[in-house]
């Protein structure tokens, strides 16, 4: 039997240090290789690292007004950096520190450390009040865009996207697909029975446009985010966790992650070619990762359904599995009206239909190839 020679020591509020920073050895050395922005990083983080200001808040902004100060009125700017496409300030107050970075595309990030949660919330709210201009898009929604930033890790930017009303574009789809999309557009959270939406069909048939209309139809209960680098999302577990667990403020809403043209992830040979990507996708939709998370995944692909991995298309996994095909010649002629004589008998895609409607040929410099024959 093993005997304990010393009593077990518990580290807690009564026996351990008051703050973990007290037992942390850290130092900063600056030389000519460091930039003013590096100095700003150090100064902004120091109160938080030391524990003097142990509360942190962050807010990302879009469409920032040119005259927005991004700091409380009357506050003192301790450092300011002006560069070609950005401006950064460090502001110091009584028990709080603020850093604001703004860029030429009118986006900005405001970060606050403070003594208390209440103070941090108040300083942040005061700094961003009326900082953003109203959305210029009347018929649209705010959509998130995920991407992996090499230095900062997973990032999410918000942009206003024009979204059509489904009833206005319904005639752009084959009758069978339109009827299925009717049911999808009318869904509510109580109707969710699967976590994967699969839209497949030839290029130019309107799959992305249908998803934009879906984002508008589901806007009251679902936030739609587009993943710009899905291959990175499913190869980086940390990235996947960030996108899967993002919380929309204090509101609990469903979220739909949109992966466009993600053929290589869901092909029949995906397990061999994409490594763990397919497994992580399936885990997000109905595995351990997806449990307790109101997350849906929409994938568009140009692949035929028969070429997709059976695990993706199995019953119970897909909330919707829609083939968005070409419009029949009869439907296309009804759509075009008097100019329907140009419609080929095999039908057309939506993109081809719009080109026929406008009657303008594309600019093309490809020279006609001469007919080849036997060379003697």
DSSP symbols for 157-187: EEEEEE---HHHHGGGS-HHHHHHHHHHHT-
pTM to 2 decimals? 0.69
Beta bridge partners of 320: 197
What is the model's pLDDT at position 366?
A: 58
Q: Return the number of other C-beta atoms located less than 10 Å from residue 48's C-beta.
A: 17
Q: Return the number of other C-beta atoms located less than 10 Å from residue 11's C-beta.
A: 9
What is the model's pLDDT at position 12?
A: 44
Contact 91, 75 (CB under 8 A): yes
Using the 8-state DSSP alphabet, how is residue 132 labeled? B
**How far, in Å, CA of 196 to CA of 316, rounded?**
9
Q: What is the dihedral of CA 168, 318, 193, 255, to 10 degrees?
A: -60
**How far, in Å, CA of 62 to CA of 219, rounded?**
19
Residues of the chain with CATH 3.40.50.300: 140-323
**Could you give phi then psi for residue 77, rounded to 5 degrees?**
-85, 115
Fold observed for domain 140-323: Rossmann fold (3.40.50)
**How far, in Å, CA of 107 to CA of 109, rounded?**
7
Contact 19, 51 (CB under 8 A): yes
Residue 43's contacts (CB-CB under 8 Å, 6 or more residues apart) are: 78, 79, 90
Start-to-end C-alpha separation, the chain: 97
In which element (H, E) is residue 61 found? strand 55-61
Of the candidates 58, 80, 70, the residue with the CA atom closest to the CA atom of residue 132: 70
CA gyration radius, the chain:
27
DSSP of 192-243, one letter per residue? ---SEEEEE-STTSSHHHHHHHHHHHTTTTEEEEEES-HHHHTT-HHHHHHH
Of the candidates 122, 117, 29, the residue with the CA atom closest to the CA atom of residue 75: 122
What three-state secondary structure class fits 118? helix
* Parallel/antiparallel/unpaired status of strands 153-162 and 140-149: antiparallel
Architecture of the domain whose range is 32-128: 2-Layer Sandwich (3.30)
**pLDDT tens for each residue of the chain, 376 residues long:** 444 444 444 444 444 455 666 666 667 777 777 788 888 998 998 999 888 999 999 998 988 999 999 999 999 999 999 998 899 999 999 999 999 999 998 999 999 999 999 999 999 999 999 999 987 766 778 899 999 987 678 888 888 888 999 999 999 999 999 999 999 999 999 999 888 899 989 999 999 999 999 999 999 999 999 999 988 888 888 888 888 877 655 556 899 999 998 777 776 555 544 557 777 887 777 767 666 678 999 999 887 766 777 777 777 778 898 999 999 988 988 888 876 557 888 888 988 888 877 765 555 555 556 555 544 4
**How far, in Å, CA of 359 to CA of 343, rounded?**
12
**How far, in Å, CA of 220 to CA of 339, rounded?**
40
Structure-token pair, residue 110: 């405001």
Q: Return the number of other C-beta atoms located less than 10 Å from residue 35's C-beta.
A: 12
Contact 174, 207 (CB under 8 A): no
Q: Which residues of 98-131 are buried (b: 16+ CB within 10 A; e: fewer)?
A: bbbbbeeeebbbbbbbbeeeebbebbbeebbeeb
Residues of the chain with CATH 3.30.310: 32-128
């Amino acid at each position: 039997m093993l005997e304990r020679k010393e009593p077990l020591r518990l580290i807690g509020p009564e026996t351990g240090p008051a703050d973990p920073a007290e037992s942390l050895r850290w130092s900063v050395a600056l030389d000519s290789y460091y930039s003013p922005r590096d100095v700003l990083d150090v100064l902004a983080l120091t109160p938080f690292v030391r524990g003097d200001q142990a509360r942190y808040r962050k807010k990302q902004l879009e469409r920032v007004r040119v005259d927005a100060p991004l700091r409380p009125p009357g506050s003192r700017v301790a450092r300011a950096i002006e560069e070609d496409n950005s401006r950064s300030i460090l502001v110091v107050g009584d028990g709080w520190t603020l850093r604001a970075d703004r860029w030429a595309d009118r986006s900005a990030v405001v970060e606050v450390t403070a003594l208390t949660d209440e103070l941090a919330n108040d300083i942040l709210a005061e700094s961003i009040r009326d900082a953003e201009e109203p959305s210029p898009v009347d018929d649209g929604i705010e959509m998130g865009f995920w991407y992996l930033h090499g230095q900062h890790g997973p990032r999410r930017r918000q942009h206003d996207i024009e979204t059509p009303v489904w009833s206005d574009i319904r005639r752009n789809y084959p009758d069978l697909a339109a009827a299925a999309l009717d049911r999808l557009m009318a869904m509510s959270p109580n109707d969710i029975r699967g976590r994967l939406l699969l839209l497949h069909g030839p290029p130019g048939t309107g799959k992305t446009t249908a998803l934009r209309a879906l984002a508008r139809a589901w806007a009251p209960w679902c936030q739609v985010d587009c993943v710009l680098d899905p291959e990175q999302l499913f190869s980086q577990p940390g990235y996947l966790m960030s996108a899967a667990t993002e919380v929309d403020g204090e509101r609990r809403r469903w979220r739909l992650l949109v992966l466009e043209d993600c053929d290589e992830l869901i092909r029949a040979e995906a397990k061999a070619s994409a490594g763990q990507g397919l497994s992580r996708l399936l885990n997000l939709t109905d595995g351990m990762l997806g449990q307790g998370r109101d997350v849906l995944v929409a994938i568009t692909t140009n692949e035929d359904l028969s070429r997709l991995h059976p695990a993706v298309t199995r019953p119970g996994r897909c909330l919707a599995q829609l083939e968005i095909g070409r419009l029949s010649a009869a439907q296309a002629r009804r759509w075009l009206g008097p100019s329907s004589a140009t419609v080929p008998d095999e039908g057309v895609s939506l993109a081809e239909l719009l080109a026929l409607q406008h009657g303008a040929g594309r600019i093309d410099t490809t020279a006609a190839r001469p007919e080849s024959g036997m060379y003697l």
